[in-house]
Homo-oligomer: A and B are copies of this chain.
Amino acid sequence: MTTYYNEHSKVFVSVDCIIFGFEDKKLKVLLGKRKMDPGRGEWSLYGGFVEENESLDDAANRVLLELTGLKNIYMKQVGAFGAIDRDPGERVISVAYCALINVKDYDEELREEHQVEWINIKDIPELYSDHNDMVNKAITLLRRRISSEPLSFNLLPDLFTLTQLQHVYEAVLDDNIDKRNFRKRIKTIEYIEKTDRIDKITSKRGAALYRFNKEAYMEDPIFKL
Q: Which residues from chain B contact A38 at a C-beta distance below 8 Å? A: 4
In the complex, which residues 181-206 of chain A have their Cβ closer than 8 Å to any Cβ of chain B? none
* Cβ-defined contact, A80 with B79, below 8 A: yes
Q: Which residues from chain B contact A89 at a C-beta distance below 8 Å? A: 2, 4-5
Is A37's beta carbon under 8 Å from chain B? yes
| Given A11-B13, A77-B79, A80-B79, residue A90 in contact with residue B5 (CB < 8 A) | yes
Least CB distance, A203 to chain B, in whole angstroms = 39
| Distance, CA A53 to CA B11, complexed state (A) | 11
Partner-binding segment picked from A91-99, A159-167, A171-179: A91-99
In the complex, which residues 87-115 of chain A have their Cβ closer than 8 Å to any Cβ of chain B? 89-93, 95
Main secondary structure of the interface of A (DSSP, over half): loop
The digit string for A60-99, where 1 denotes a CB below 8 A from any CB of B, is: 0000000000000000010111111000011111010000
| Distance, CA A8 to CA B10, complexed state (A) | 12
Q: Which residues from chain B contact A209 at a C-beta distance below 8 Å? A: none
Q: How many residues of A contact B (CB 8 A)?
A: 36
Is A42's beta carbon under 8 Å from chain B? no
Q: What copy number does this chain have within its complex?
A: 2
Least CB distance, A174 to chain B, in whole angstroms = 18
Is A51's beta carbon under 8 Å from chain B? yes
| Distance, CA A2 to CA B88, complexed state (A) | 11
A49 partner, pick from B8, B13, B83, B91, beta carbons under 8 A: B8
Q: Which residues from chain B contact A82 at a C-beta distance below 8 Å? A: 13, 50, 55-57, 59, 95
Q: Which residues from chain B contact A84 at a C-beta distance below 8 Å? A: 52-55
Is A12's beta carbon under 8 Å from chain B? yes
Q: Which of A3, A59, A90 has the most chain B CB atoms closer than 10 A to its own CB?
A: A90
Which residue of chain B is the closest to A97 with respect to CB atoms? B80
* Cβ-defined contact, A11 with B9, below 8 A: no
Q: Which residues from chain B contact A54 at a C-beta distance below 8 Å? A: 84
Q: Which residues of A contact B (CB under 8 A)?
A: 2-5, 8-13, 36-38, 49-57, 59, 77, 79-84, 89-93, 95
